[in-house]
Amino acid sequence: MNNKTKQKIIKKFQTHKNDTGSTEVQIAILSKEIDELSAHLKKNIHDYSSRRGLFKKICQRKKLIKYLHKENIDSLYKIAQILKLKIAKSLKEELKDIMDLNKKNEEKRQAKIIEDEKYNKTE
């Protein structure tokens, strides 16, 4: 990958003006490198050293995705959609479940507040 391509990816995925190495940027760069190596290996089937490099990059991206999943699932979902990663579909369902759970917890909290107010008025 040349430097211009890398700079375009960094600009597209940076989280702030001077960001060059955030998790989002690293995942995007690795995805582009994985695509390029995959195309190379389709032409050169017996290039085992490049295959090993591809597996290393895939493993590194997987670790970064796992980290971002723990830290900021919304950001991971956005990146997965833009990069068209397979994980995007499962993340969409997971985010929906999280939103439903948050909504239920908020309703329970509101009901408890109302109940506490009623109890305090009767005293």
Percentage of residues in the chain having pLDDT higher than 90: 46
Judge residue 33's burial from the number of C-beta atoms within 10 Å of its C-beta, 0-12 exposed, 13-18 middle, 19 or more buried.
buried
What residue has token string 């702030």? 16
The CATH number for 33's domain is 1.10.287.10
99 pLDDT more than 90: no
Q: Looking at the structure, do residues 95 and 119 belong to the same domain, yes or no?
A: yes
pTM: 0.74
Q: Looking at the structure, do residues 74 and 40 belong to the same domain, yes or no?
A: yes
Q: Looking at the structure, do residues 14 and 38 belong to the same domain, yes or no?
A: yes
Q: Looking at the structure, do residues 107 and 68 belong to the same domain, yes or no?
A: no
Q: Looking at the structure, do residues 99 and 62 belong to the same domain, yes or no?
A: no
Candidates 99, 96, 21, 12; CA nearest to 64 is 21
At position 57, the amino acid (one-letter code) is: K
Residue 81: band (very low, low, confident or very high) from pLDDT cuts 50, 70, 90: confident
Q: Looking at the structure, do residues 78 and 107 belong to the same domain, yes or no?
A: no
Between 58 and 109, where is the model more confident?
58
Q: Looking at the structure, do residues 65 and 38 belong to the same domain, yes or no?
A: yes
Tell me which residue range forms the domain holding 78: 1-85
Spell out the residues 6+ positions from residue 41 whose beta carbon is closer than 8 angstroms to its own.
Answer: 47, 50, 51, 54
Spell out the residues 6+ positions from residue 110 whose beta carbon is closer than 8 angstroms to its own.
Answer: none
Q: How many domains are there within the chain?
A: 2
pLDDT, tens digit, 9 for 90 and up, residues 6-48 = 999 999 998 888 888 899 999 999 999 999 999 999 999 999 9
Q: Looking at the structure, do residues 65 and 43 belong to the same domain, yes or no?
A: yes
Q: Count of CB atoms within 10 A of residue 4's CB?
A: 8
107 pLDDT more than 90: no
Q: Looking at the structure, do residues 52 and 107 belong to the same domain, yes or no?
A: no
